[in-house]
Amino acid sequence: MDKKVVIITGSTRGLGLAMAKKFLAMGHNVVINGTSKESVANTLAYLTDYKKQIAFFAGSVALPHTHKKLLEAALDKFQGVDIWINNAGIPQPYDYLVNLNDETIVNITQTNVAGVILGTKAALKHFISQNKGAIWNINGFGSDGDMKPRLTVYGTTKRAVDYFTRASFKENKDQYPWLTIGTINPGMIKTQFLTKSLEGVDTETIEQNIAFNAIFASAAQDIAEKIVPQILAAPKGFSHLRYMSLPMVLSRLYKARKILKKMK
Ligand SMILES: NC(=O)c1ccc[n+]([C@@H]2O[C@H](COP(=O)([O-])OP(=O)(O)OC[C@H]3O[C@@H](n4cnc5c(N)ncnc54)[C@H](OP(=O)(O)O)[C@@H]3O)[C@@H](O)[C@H]2O)c1
C-alpha cells in the first residue's frame, strides 16, 4: 500500500482525532496537533498502539511558527507530507455580536480564518517543492451563505474558509496542475464544540439546541469513516466533500420538525 503522511490540525479530539484514527488504522502516518502540550500528550497516550505512525507538535494554528513546526515534525519522522488537513476550528458563544467580548472575536477569526490561510500557505509551499500534495479545509455553518442570529461571527469565518479555498484553487490551478485542494462539509458533529457553543445560554435555548443536535449531529467516527476514503481517492483539482447526503438531511429535518418550529 502507498502509505501517506497526513498533517491534521486540531486532532487531539473531535473530528480531527476521528480522522487521525481512521488514517492510522488504514496504515498511514499522521502528524497530530492541538493547542496545548497536555492535550497532545493525552492524545498520544490514547493512540499508543500507533506510536510509530505518529509525529506531533503542540501550538496554535493562528501562529505561523506552528505550521513550520508541523511540517518539520513530518519531515523529521516521515520524510514528506502528502495531505494537509486544516481542521482546527473553534465555535463562537451562541450570542449576539454586541455581547461577545473582543478577545473572543479575535480568537475565533484568527483560529478559523488565519489558521486555515497560514496552513494552506505552508502546505502549498512544501507541495510545490515535490510537485504533489492535497490540501483540505473544513467548512461549517455559514460556508454556503446561510445566516442565523447568534452565529454571525462563526458563520463569517466559515464563509471565508469556503471562499479562500475556492479562490486558492483558482489562483494556483494553472501553475500547479497536480494540486488537489478542497473543502469538507462534515455536517453537525457530536463534539465538545457543540456543547461549548451553548455555554452561558438560557435554559430554553439550551434544551432546544440539545434536542436539535441529538437528531442532527453525527458521531465524528461515522464522518471520518466516510470522508477519509474520499480524501484518499480525491482527484487533482477542486473537490467538495460532504458527509450528509440529501436523503440523510431530509430524514433528519423530518425528525426535527417540531423542535425547528419552536426554535428562536
Ligand atoms: N462540531 C460541529 O458541529 C461542526 C460542524 C461543522 C464544522 N465543524 C468544524 O469541524 C472542525 C472540527 O470541529 P470539532 O467539532 O471536531 O471541534 P472540537 O471537538 O472542539 O476539537 C477542536 C480541535 O481543534 C483544536 N484547536 C482548537 N483551537 C486550536 C488552535 N488555535 N490551534 C490548533 N488547534 C486548535 C483542539 O485542540 P486543543 O483542545 O488541544 O487545543 C481540538 O483538537 C472545526 O473546523 C469546526 O469549525 C464542526
- 112 CA closest ligand 1 atom index: 45
- 138 CA closest ligand 1 atom index: 45
**Cell numbers standing for residue 127:** 507541495
Asked if residue 18 has its Cβ within 6 Å of ligand 1, the reply is no
Distance separating alpha carbons of residues 5 and 14, to the nearest angstrom: 20
pLDDT string in tens for the chain (264-residue length)? 799 999 999 999 999 999 999 999 999 999 999 999 999 999 999 999 999 999 999 999 999 999 999 999 999 999 899 999 999 999 999 999 999 999 999 999 999 999 999 999 999 999 999 999 999 999 999 999 999 999 999 999 999 999 999 999 999 999 999 999 999 999 999 988 887 777 777 888 888 888 888 888 999 999 999 999 999 999 999 999 999 999 999 999 888 887 777 775
CA 177 / ligand 1 centre spacing (Å)? 30
**Cell numbers standing for residue 247:** 436523503
Q: Which of 151, 3, 20 has the alpha carbon at shortest distance from 79?
A: 3
Instruction: Give the pLDDT confidence score for residue 197 in this predicted structure.
Output: 76
Angle subtended at Cα 184 by Cα 178 and Cα 187, rounded to the nearest 5 degrees: 170
Q: Name the CATH superfamily housing domain 5-192+219-245.
A: NAD(P)-binding Rossmann-like Domain (3.40.50.720)
Candidates 148, 193, 197: which one to mutate for ligand 1, based on the most atoms within 8 Å of Cβ? 193
CA 14 / ligand 1 centre spacing (Å)? 7
Backbone angles phi, psi at 158, to 5 degrees: -75, -30
For the chain, the structural domain boundaries read: 5-192+219-245
Asked if residue 90 has its Cβ within 6 Å of ligand 1, the reply is yes
Asked if residue 39 has its Cβ within 6 Å of ligand 1, the reply is yes
Nearest protein CA to atom 42 of ligand 1, as residue: 10
Instruction: Give the pLDDT confidence score for residue 264 in this predicted structure.
Output: 59
Asked if residue 119 has its Cβ within 6 Å of ligand 1, the reply is no
Distance separating alpha carbons of residues 167 and 152, to the nearest angstrom: 22
